[in-house]
Amino acid sequence: MSPDDQRVSLAEDLARRPDDALADLLALRPDLASPPPQGSAVLGQRALSAASITLAGEDLDLLSVAVLEMVIALGTDAGRREILAPVPAAAVLDALADRADRADLEARLDLLLRRALVWGDRDRLETAAHTPSALPWKAHHLTGPLAGMDAAHLRSLLADVDERQRGLLETLSRGPALGRSRDAAPDADPAQPVPRLIAAGLLARVDEQTVELPPMIGQILRDEPPLRVDDLRAPDLHATDVNVDGPARSRKFTAAELEGAAGGEALELIRHATSLLTVLGATPAAVLRSGALGVRELRRLGKATGLSQPRLALVVELLSYLRFIDVGFPDPPPADDAGEQAFAPTPASDSWVHQSPDRQWSVLLGAWLELPRRPWQVGEPDRDGTAHPALSADLHDAYAPVQRRLVLEVLATGRPAVPVTTDALTAALAWHHPRHLRRFSRRVVEETLREARELGVVAHGALTAVGRAALTDGDGEITEKQILVAMGKALPTPVDHFLTQADLTLTVPGPMTPELAEQVDLVADLESGGAASVYRVTEASVRRALDAGRSSSELITMFTAHSRTPVPQSLTYLIEDVARRHGQLRVGVASAFVRCEDAATLAAVLRSDAAEPLALRALAPTVAVSPAEVRTVIDALRAAGFAPAGEDSSGSLVDLRERGSRVTVSRQRRHRAPRRTTPSADQLSQVVSRIRSHDRAVSVRPAVGDQPVRAVGGGESATALIQLALRVDRPVRVGYVDAHGSASRHVVVPRTLGAGQLVAADPDTDEEQRFSLHRITSVELLEN
């Protein structure tokens, strides 16, 4: 018997596997289960397709890739690159034994067998023509000439190349690793750069016209941590003593330090987002023709909010994704309105602003994890050298949230509360996801960690409790509750007091309760945020509180009740002085009227510079009217040095605080496409049962004899044959087309026939099945 006659096809191997092993394969490769395959032969064909094999190799780590590459290499003719013969497992393990632990190699080989990328027994591991599609590269870099070299040896090889050769290598390192060259053939002139690089191992030959740059050489040329191919063990995330923040030290932070830092960052992010909403409400930002937010507007917003461009870009992208800011016609229009659309807050932002800090944090974190963009790319030059604007369509990348989650998941494999450097994390990502090696550059990892720190997911170079909760897979409501619990523990306890200073400043030692925050924001202006915020009380801020309907006694009572230090007399005098002058003038609708109990004060108003622009006209010693709007009259009188208050038709004071412009949301918030989930155990069991049923239907022998044994279609002949099977208690093979048009064959034992249905039982499991007669395509009587 020839060696080819002894080879086992994948379909035969799958047919021999037990049901739980087949269900495990479908769980690992869910693309094979949809639509349900018609038997082991169809399942085997799907599993051998290049597309399915590529998908199966998507998340293989470096050691798994090395094992698969070694199986392929040992069974391949190096010259023709054709898979010739099965390979014993012992040869694969022995070839890699000096670069990895035996137990890890066994585990990776078992994984490849479970995924059907390799099949057979331990003495004969089989592969197929498309199996190399599971590898992250075209050539064999983990079993090639550079396989046993460390980074220092690789750098020494690069140091020996001439300028022309290095230029060729750097070109491939910056672009695609594959290159086309006539000098790639084995018989090419050995004096040319490409053959010399191939001979040195710095290029790998794919075919006679194609070469590939080894990934570790490309990393060295890009000044990134190179893959260790001399040691295939997983890299230690904590192997370095260099802290992510710079100082050379190795320490483990306490949980309190970690969560305290995360909570502080979250509060700052919430404050900055609120500040940006306020600024955009007062002065909406212009829209570029492309629909983006231009660099000039970003600079203006940065100056108004005091935020750096990277920070502002992150906040803008998050708020836009949440539809807290959007493009539209601002209502009410700003003072310098040109009748054009602009970026302004939406009504949804008002609801978020009044939520508790943990829920505000949760909303921002959820947006960042789903955001199909990289905010850190805002301001970077594009191909034409023009800076990318914020919210540009060019920055959309559906892989961004996947990449963000992979970075956090690898960081989660480190020891809790122990710092991880950017280089260590970059090296670990390359080992865990070699197929995405080019996507995880040092810059990408560094900027992702910076954004994660600003979201409170990472602190001091380690994943926080909030970050670990956010990575939990499972029920959405349960995960959200876990995140909120972690956030509640990380956020400092809200305070209901402040310290009043003689210079009219308030020092708040922590986040305020919502009730206190509303009162303080009304009567004072924020000077500096952070763990301890500082507010300043001014004449304008006191007038703002009086405009909102507060009285001087209410303000003094509030300060007395919440201040842990004595309220200085200077603050009391300021409040009483502003209150004494506030509201002497009353402005109503005529379009507007001005009334005052003091005739001398109204006479002063009529003599002021504001009287003529407002067209004020006295109706009585204490009443005047103006055709201007109420808001215009009040602003003009205040600019002239008076302190008017607004009133309604009943004479009650009205709140005249600026609410800011809002735009109507024309689009709903974009939701991330649901991730493809693994089929449930019950679904996999049904698919396996269908495969087994089809296999039995193909393998059984039809009955022989004088009586008819086969009927085509679901008419009278099929019904008669089913009735015959019922009388003689014989199984039948039924051809069937379901409601989705999927054809299948089943071996069943008929139980009852009636009402247009055949009720039958599986001969192995005795499970009842029902078939509509009009969907039956054939019936065949079988031997017992």
Q: How confident is the model at residue 703 (pLDDT cuts 50, 70, 90)?
A: low
Six-digit token pair at 462? 């380690």
Instruction: Report whether pLDDT(374) > 90.
Output: yes
Instruction: Report whether pLDDT(295) > 50.
Output: yes
Distance from C-alpha of 452 to C-alpha of 471, rounded to nearest angstrom = 13
Question: Please, are residues 710 and 781 in contact by the beta-carbon 8 Å criterion?
Answer: yes
Q: How confident is the model at residue 287, as a pLDDT?
A: 92
Q: How confident is the model at residue 548 (pLDDT cuts 50, 70, 90)?
A: confident
- Mean pLDDT is lowest, of 125-134, 211-220, 245-254, for 245-254
Q: How confident is the model at residue 50, as a pLDDT?
A: 93
Q: How confident is the model at residue 247, as a pLDDT?
A: 38
Q: What is the mean pLDDT of the chain?
A: 86
Please write the tens of the pLDDT for every residue from 331-357.
878 777 777 889 999 999 988 988 888
Terminal alpha carbon distance of the chain: 35
Six-digit token pair at 759? 């009720």
Q: How confident is the model at residue 90, as a pLDDT?
A: 94
Q: How confident is the model at residue 122 (pLDDT cuts 50, 70, 90)?
A: confident
Q: Which residue has the tokens 């023509």?
A: 129
Question: Please, are residues 112 and 68 in contact by the beta-carbon 8 Å criterion?
Answer: yes
Instruction: Report whether pLDDT(243) > 80.
Output: no
Question: Which residue spans within 47-92 are E strands per DSSP?
Answer: 76-77, 82-83
Q: How confident is the model at residue 3, as a pLDDT?
A: 46
Distance from C-alpha of 650 to C-alpha of 656, rounded to nearest angstrom = 16
Instruction: Report whether pLDDT(27) > 70.
Output: yes
Instruction: Report whether pLDDT(321) > 80.
Output: yes
- Backbone angles phi and psi of 211, in degrees to 5: -125, 160
Instruction: Report whether pLDDT(707) > 70.
Output: no
Question: Please, are residues 466 and 487 in contact by the beta-carbon 8 Å criterion?
Answer: yes
- Mean pLDDT is lowest, of 54-58, 94-98, 589-593, for 589-593
Q: How confident is the model at residue 241 (pLDDT cuts 50, 70, 90)?
A: very low
Q: How confident is the model at residue 423, as a pLDDT?
A: 92
Q: How confident is the model at residue 385 (pLDDT cuts 50, 70, 90)?
A: confident
Instruction: Report whether pLDDT(455) > 80.
Output: yes
Distance from C-alpha of 523 to C-alpha of 538, rounded to nearest angstrom = 8
Please write the tens of the pLDDT for every residue from 427-446.
999 999 999 999 999 999 99
Question: Which residue spans within 254-374 are E strands per DSSP?
Answer: 285-286, 325-328, 342-345
Q: How confident is the model at residue 331, as a pLDDT?
A: 82
Q: How confident is the model at residue 713, as a pLDDT?
A: 66
Q: How confident is the model at residue 246 (pLDDT cuts 50, 70, 90)?
A: very low
- Mean pLDDT is lowest, of 25-34, 269-278, 599-608, for 599-608
Contacts 24+ apart (CB under 8 A), 763-766: 763/696, 763/731, 764/692, 764/696, 765/689
Residue 67 CA, chain-centre distance (Å), reads 31
Q: How confident is the model at residue 245, as a pLDDT?
A: 40
Q: What's 335's DSSP letter?
A: T
Instruction: Report whether pLDDT(402) > 90.
Output: yes
Task: Give the residue, 331 or 475, on which the prediction is more confident.
Answer: 331
Please write the tens of the pLDDT for every residue from 632-684.
888 888 888 888 888 776 666 666 566 677 888 765 555 554 455 667 888 88
Six-digit token pair at 697? 């239907």
Q: How confident is the model at residue 499 (pLDDT cuts 50, 70, 90)?
A: very high
Percent of the chain surpassing pLDDT 90: 47
Question: Which residue spans within 482-607 are E strands per DSSP?
Answer: 499-500, 505-508, 525-528, 533-536, 585-588, 592-596
Q: How confident is the model at residue 244, as a pLDDT?
A: 38
Evaluated on CA atoms 472, 477, 480, 481, the torsion sign reads: negative
pTM: predicted TM-score of the whole model, two decimal places: 0.80
Would you kindly state where each structural domain of the chain is located, as residue ranges? 3-134, 157-221, 255-490, 499-580, 584-646, 700-781
pLDDT, mean of residues 218-235: 92
pLDDT, mean of residues 598-616: 87
Q: Report the SS3 class of residue 534.
A: strand
Please write the tens of the pLDDT for every residue from 609-621.
888 888 888 888 8
Contacts of 141 (CB under 8 A, 6+ apart): 69, 147, 204, 212, 214, 215, 216, 229
Q: How confident is the model at residue 662, as a pLDDT?
A: 81
Class of the domain covering 700-781 = mainly beta
